[in-house]
Structure 1
């Protein structure tokens, strides 16, 4: 009928698609729908990049020590094995690192475990990262303790904040490199 739009319904079926296209769709569609394809490194947030790289590094460290990191999909290890993994991850004996905060609290950490090794690799200076991140992560409690605005406390710690940003940037760059090297080839 002239002047009128005709509504047509089009469907795609394997009968109308070339065999190669059908085969490709059959192979690729399940990956896209299920989300099984690995996320590209550049699409992760900086926090997720550093967490993923930390996990790769700590898992490698544990593996070199003959240990396996606990995972939710595995049965829990024995208490003795849990202690060995904890000691390997976080270090043993007296803590080697210590920071006294303006609130009076003292924060301590080890520099001999797999986590410390991962931080050294990612941040470039584990001792400095421990000190700086502990101070920066406690600016809110310091402001509350001092009864001052957070902006005032942040101004007082501008050098610590600059160090934190510099080391964090270093960690993100190191994480991207590490994850690209350790990612499966596609």
Structure 2
């Protein structure tokens, strides 16, 4: 028969997309999930009973507990191989495991894939802006040349429309690139 603890441990280990780490009030690790093993490369047995600061680059973020609604914060974790792991971490107080002393619960989500996607997006927008700006500048230049020639009133309207819409496109490209920085 499953106990509540068995169910809780099963849920924690099933959340492999997140590193879940619980500590006592002294910062000693009492729970280290399968997701934490996958993200950081430490085997569970190596981390249980040790101080949680071994998995954080810098201070352990217990200062994030100053509000009733914990918010995710970007932190750098340290993998077993010493490589920094960017993560979004939420820290909460826990009442304690099996009636033990209270502690902290850390839930970390890997940010590596998000950062890669953001980098690809930046590169795409930069390239797209460059590829669009060159021919658009040429179109606008020719529209200005045409506007200087003797044209009928209808032809001037066409040239003005080309120039107006070209400037609008150029403005949109500039906004896209500025919003991406």
Do these two structures clear the TM 0.5 threshold for a shared fold by scoring above it? Answer: no
Larger Rg: 1 or 2?
2
Tell me which of the two structures has the higher relative contact order, counting C-alpha pairs closer than 8 angstroms and 6 or more residues apart. 1
Structure whose residues are more often helix by fraction: 1
Structure whose residues are more often strand by fraction: 2
TM-score (ref. length: structure 2): 0.23
TM-score (ref. length: structure 1): 0.22
